[in-house]
Amino acid sequence: MRRKLTQIQMKITSNRMTNPTGDLPLPLLIICLVSINPLPTASGVTGKPPDLSEYDVYEDTVTPSGLVPVSQQVIQRCDYDPCREDQTPCLTLSAATGCSCPGFTLDSDIPEAPKLKSVSYNGSGVVVRWCAPYSQVTTYVVAVEGREDELVLEETRRSGIVQDMDHRAKVCVFAVNSAGKSDGSCMMYRPVDNWLPLTSGLIGGAVGLLLLLLLVGLLWRRRRQKDMETRNV
């Protein structure tokens, strides 16, 4: 085939030399153009087709959208309530079950202040209740203004009872760990609340005594009327 094309090209060249101004026949012109500029292959280039074997690596990992799927893991939060009495520390729960604790500070940081909820009298002492901070805590300290003695409680506690409080004073609770002591969360205690149970008891006793006296008076009067009726008969 190539030899035939070469003979045709030589013939065309000789014709041009002998007749430079003459027109070539149309079929012969088409054959020359095809031999000089061959048609492109299906891949768009001539010669050896490209090696696509290197793309086989991505065949199983690339999704139709072009993204690699990522496995999603469900994160379970720990059953932790900062206000629950005798609550197991969240980090202990996390180590045992693999659950997630919400943003606790490290033991190397001074803990945040606990949240004091209430200070009230329960008949035998002043009950102090609080919620734990989102920090690592080893102990809690309850302090009363004007008193040197402090109440030290374990990290699982959320309440404490202060004895012998008969005056108005500020009560504070602190969180402590190896890094130091937190700021205090404080509330004013007013001992007027102590008299409420006693006052209620006194009022109830007085009302009961009055009813008893009234009942005795009614019974005595009824008996007297019966005695008078008996004498008249």
* 146 vs 223, residue with greater confidence: 146
Least confident of 42-46, 49-53, 116-120, 199-203: 42-46
**Is there a contact between 144 and 165 (Cβ–Cβ < 8 Å)?**
yes
Checking if the pLDDT of 65 tops 60, the result is no
Provide the residue count of the chain: 233
* Longest alpha-carbon distance in the chain: 180
Checking if the pLDDT of 63 tops 50, the result is no
Under the banding of pLDDT at 50, 70 and 90, the label for residue 137 is very high
83 Cβ contact partners less than 8 Å away, ≥ 6 residues apart? 117, 130, 131, 132, 158
Mean pLDDT for 101-124 is 90
Checking if the pLDDT of 233 tops 70, the result is no
- 13-24: pLDDT as tens digits: 555 555 544 455
Question: Using CA atoms, how far apart are residues 179 and 183, in angstroms rounded to an integer?
Answer: 13
Q: Three-state DSSP class for 40?
A: coil
Under the banding of pLDDT at 50, 70 and 90, the label for residue 66 is very low
Residue with tokens 């008891």: 201
Superfamily of domain 103-187: Immunoglobulins (2.60.40.10)
Average pLDDT, the chain: 77
Checking if the pLDDT of 172 tops 80, the result is yes
Least confident of 35-39, 158-162, 210-214: 35-39
pLDDT score, position 214:
87
* 68 vs 181, residue with greater confidence: 181
Give alpha helix (H) positions in the chain.
Answer: 2-18, 26-36, 90-97, 195-232
How many percent of the chain have pLDDT more than 90?
A: 36
Q: What ranges do the domains of the chain cover?
A: 103-187
pLDDT score, position 55:
42
Under the banding of pLDDT at 50, 70 and 90, the label for residue 57 is very low
pLDDT score, position 102:
80
Least confident of 116-130, 132-146, 168-182, 197-211: 197-211
